[in-house]
Chains A and B, each alone.
Chain A
């Protein structure tokens, strides 16, 4: 359950830090070298304490998931009888709903949505990462009004996606600000490549700050001494960026990119509000699944949803395995500031050690 955080400190070999305690399992959160001393009952206790959470998770995640898989194997065959009433039979069709994803009209729509989803994910996450890094580098410097800038950069992230979709819809309408500034007559919300571009711009505007702030948090924990040493050794700004900042901020960056990718793969509300439902240029897998369920074709809607789920899962697993993104550890990096944590762990370590020594002394007495 616990793991040490690969922190910059650990890499430079000056600090040995551990994760803070989790509220539910206080005794588990001691340092790694202490784990061997735990009694067997402790593990069982931990599992028992965790089981309510797992039960709830299973009910709200596992059940809908299995239900969707189950539903995706059925299809409602409806027809009209002589009086014009619907006679509906729901029959088991095996994997036919999945096979249909690749043939005919529904196959064309699915592949188009699949391509759109992938295209949006790759382009938006790439642009967000570049922009986010630049933002973090800018914010990491000490200057007047820095905290104000940090707060204001979060505003796009704080705006609900549907609302930002509406904002951008006004900007991109044919007589809107975008066309006025560019002096162009681009129809951003009609079918075509312009609508793809519109979605990418709005999405990057909204989510680059997220990456920026996560990366900033990662940069804040790089000790100033490292930079001082580099400066003494004569390293320039670019060298420092390439050899210190980027490698040390990599774990945080990877997690931020992973989160964004998973989010982008599920993109729904922005193209829906900005460009509109049913527009093929921007139709994503989520929109397709929504549309199918709206047409009461729950079987194929579930098949779309399951495929999307598998796609997201595969991307996540590949990303974690190949690039080694440390999801849980970095999450905590984000949550805690450097100082308070090192202080807290150190005092806790000392306290633990003292208790252990006291026990030892009692035992020998």
Chain B
């Protein structure tokens, strides 16, 4: 037994030593946290190779642009770093790199909803006033890339809501024009659902599962009713009569059976399947579905039987939220001059037009939506432009992650009937107030 004790003694000593070392390391890690130093005024200096970090572009259009840049700038080559597909993971990697002030990521491709968070934390630099031709761009995209009056990102591509409707059924019911308001939509549904060919169909769906898509649908409902989720200062405004009217559109939709009963589990994809199988008259969704809905290979039962317009509001056309991305420059890269030049080149109208040949992502330049050659290929572009001209960004707040969680939580409780609209909105207001401090 004596030898055994020896073994353990040695083991304990080793463990204790390693533990001490680990504690030391931990303590070192702790002391490294210091209050963020004030940043000097944005100076775009330094030339050399940079990294462009982005979500995947399956079309290869972004790669083409980068190849063209690299051919013209052999001394300032750009390397494309691809991030995972999940937006949460992209954000996490970008933030982790910014927190350790790593110079690996030079030009960041940011989702529009991250703009405020990255700008407020000084993880991206304010751009010079004349960096991008903002006057030629769709105003909502510029607004989404702006934080407190300074432009912090160059709009890259954009996205807005479309209202898909069954034109064949509208004609059959003798309705001349698609509905512009929720009341018109309900009236149209009463007529259409009475038709024999519409047996078993539901009126409308959006995306209502507890997900970012619910924040989108909630924001659109509130904005379409004339309200806002947060004001220009980022302070919440969801305890208003307009916000209540907006949320009630969705709550009543479920209560009155306007939406299919399982729409509470719908994301974009489930809605597409239901519409494609001829189970829905109206649907709010993104433009990317247009291609699969109009597929003529037999996969879509509604090919040629549907059309698109802007989403409905309460007194007129509704307000779409804005998707899309913008490019920003990291303050931690040594080659800021190259980074800025690359951002200008990448987001220029000329390059946006070239990318249109490959990618279906909507450009931020209004003029490009009118090109007949482009419209022939993407028939939804004119309607999308109308939608985008009337679009509003999602809540522009610094703590967007927690904000969207709170919105989803309360909106979900309201539309499932777990809370009444007033309680849900008051609770939401309280949570968002806490987060905006």
A residues in contact (CB < 8 Å) with B: 1, 35, 38-40, 42-44, 46-48, 50-51, 54-55, 58-59, 62-63, 66-67, 70, 74, 79-80, 83-90, 105, 173-175, 185, 187, 189-191, 276, 278-279, 291, 294-296
Contacts and interface: CB of A to CB of B under 8 A. Distances in A.
B55 to A, nearest CB: 17
B270 A173 contact: yes
A88 B15 contact: no
A191 B210 contact: yes
Contacts of B409: 278
Contacts of B431: 105
29 contacts: A35-B4, A43-B4, A44-B10, A46-B7, A47-B6, A47-B11, A50-B11, A54-B14, A54-B15, A58-B15, A58-B18, A58-B19, A59-B18, A70-B27, A70-B29, A84-B148, A84-B234, A86-B36, A88-B35, A89-B35, A90-B33, A173-B270, A174-B265, A190-B264, A191-B416, A191-B418, A276-B210, A278-B408, A295-B401
* Of listed B4, B25, B26, residue having the most chain A CB within 10 A: B26
Nearest to B36: A88
B92 interface: yes
B399 interface: yes
- The interface residues of chain B, by DSSP majority, are classed as helix
A54 B11 contact: yes
B264 A1 contact: no
B24 to A, nearest CB: 10
Nearest to B418: A191
Contact of A66 (B5, B6, B22): B22
B246 to A, nearest CB: 22
A185 B210 contact: no
B262 A47 contact: no
Interface string B401-425: 1100100110010001010000000
Interface of B: 2-7, 10-11, 14-15, 18-19, 21-23, 25-27, 29-30, 33, 35-36, 88, 92, 95, 119-122, 147-148, 209-211, 234, 261-262, 264-265, 270, 273, 398-399, 401-402, 405, 408-409, 412, 416, 418, 431, 437
Contact of A189 (B25, B26, B27, B265): B265
Contacts of A38: 3
B42 to A, nearest CB: 13
A339 to B, nearest CB: 32
A307 B262 CA distance: 37
A323 to B, nearest CB: 25
Nearest to B261: A185
A280 to B, nearest CB: 8
Contacts of B21: 58
Nearest to B273: A175
B406 to A, nearest CB: 10
B412 A191 contact: yes
Closest 5 CB pairs between A and B?
A174-B262, A47-B10, A58-B18, A43-B3, A43-B7
